[in-house]
Amino acid sequence: MKHNFGAGPCILPQEVFKQASQGVLNFNDTGLSILEISHRAPEFIAVMDEAISLVKELLNVPTGYSVLFLQGGASLQFAMVAMNLLEEGQTAAYLETGMWAKKALAEAKIFGNVNVVASSKDANFNYIPKNYSIPKDSAYFHCTSNNTIFGTQLHNFPASPVPVACDMSSDIFSRSINVADFGLIYAGAQKNIGPAGATLVIVKDEILGKVTRQIPSMLNYKTQIEGESMYNTPPVFSVFVSLLNLRWLKSKGGIAVIEQENEAKAKALYTEIDRNPLFKGTTTVEDRSNMSVCFVMENPDHEKAFLKLAEDKGCVGIKGHRSVGGFRASLYNALPITSVHVLIEAMQEFQEKN
């Protein structure tokens, strides 16, 4: 059995794979595959409508917000956010907490001024900055909720005098959030939503349409809203599997239940990291991520041997990003706590042998 700790594309529920495979062969008894059905067919329009409805239900999205399934990943959103919200001559406030935040602010600089209100790059992004202020004249404030490479997470979001745009690619649907605190939320699907190909956007309607620049139709949120996520052919299969995954999440009891499970998984693994003298965490304790657990060995010479032991036990995807080294265990929604226990047992066995 494989225990998939990969950072993304990542683990999805087995029952979702089974349902998706059936849809590939014969979608809803149409005699056609989901891969070949028209995105204008009533059967797929129903898929899109239900997926959007479940996003709103699971996250308690208030009225006045639009939900979109787009393409291009979070990386395209780095540019779209600024293109749609940052007027020329204005300044946007950015919190720099890792590589993805750094890439987001670099794209924003193409369209206007960027003010980095706080950064943790001085310590290789191993903590979340505190006690910074967001200027009231900022066009918006941008942050990244979870940093997969460095293993930090914003457990509390700052009170902002301006709209907050947040990249939640790696922890959306993993914990409770108050959508009303944000002007715009975006997330690549390939973590807790579904397979790569779709990008979820939740945007407050009233913050749009205020820049004077001409925005290409495909990159204009208002155009996409008017087109109901189907201005052009959407990523049909990714949206379909996302729908199946959202149904699975609802059947489990929703965000409240999955949040408890995720906290239990993270607590178990961090407890072993702190207990085992061969391992140590790489981030400040209060900023540790419940989704992306990063750790190294006290003796780096042991890392290859431990990686082999863990892989022999079926743990895949735990090798750390080259920026940090060591190990990274991604604890996304579909990963069962039994897989975490297998990794913990491997750590304990390695301690006994060394």
Domain ranges of the chain: 14-252, 255-353
Q: What is the pLDDT of residue 28?
A: 94
CATH code that applies to domain 14-252: 3.40.640.10
CATH code that applies to domain 255-353: 3.90.1150.10
Q: What is the pLDDT of residue 65?
A: 98
Q: What is the pLDDT of residue 322?
A: 84
Intrachain domains 14-252 and 255-353 with the same fold: no
Q: What is the pLDDT of residue 153?
A: 98
Q: What is the pLDDT of residue 269?
A: 98
Q: What is the pLDDT of residue 94?
A: 98
Low-confidence ranges of the chain (pLDDT < 70): none
pTM for the whole thing?
Answer: 0.97
pLDDT in tens, 144-172: 999 999 999 999 999 999 999 999 999 99
Q: What is the pLDDT of residue 302?
A: 96
Catalytic residues: 100, 167, 191
Q: What is the pLDDT of residue 10?
A: 87
SS (H, E, C) the chain: CCEECCCCCCCCCHHHHHHHHHHHHCHHHCCCCCCCCCCCCHHHHHHHHHHHHHHHHHHCCCCCEEEEEECCHHHHHHHHHHHHHCCCCCEEEEEECCHHHHHHHHHHCCCCEEEEEEECHHHCCCCCCCCCCCCCCCCCEEEECEECCCCEECCCCCCCCCCEEEECCCCCCCCCCCHHHCCEEEEECCCCCCCCCCEEEEEEHHHCCCCCCCCCHHHCHHHHHHCCCCCCCCCHHHHHHHHHHHHHHHHHCCHHHHHHHHHHHHHHHHHHHHHCCCEEECCCHHHECCCEEEEEECCHHHHHHHHHHHHHCCEECCECCCCCCCEEEECCCCCCHHHHHHHHHHHHHHHHHC
Q: What is the pLDDT of residue 324?
A: 85
Q: What is the pLDDT of residue 140?
A: 98
pLDDT in tens, 18-49: 999 999 999 999 999 999 999 999 999 999 99
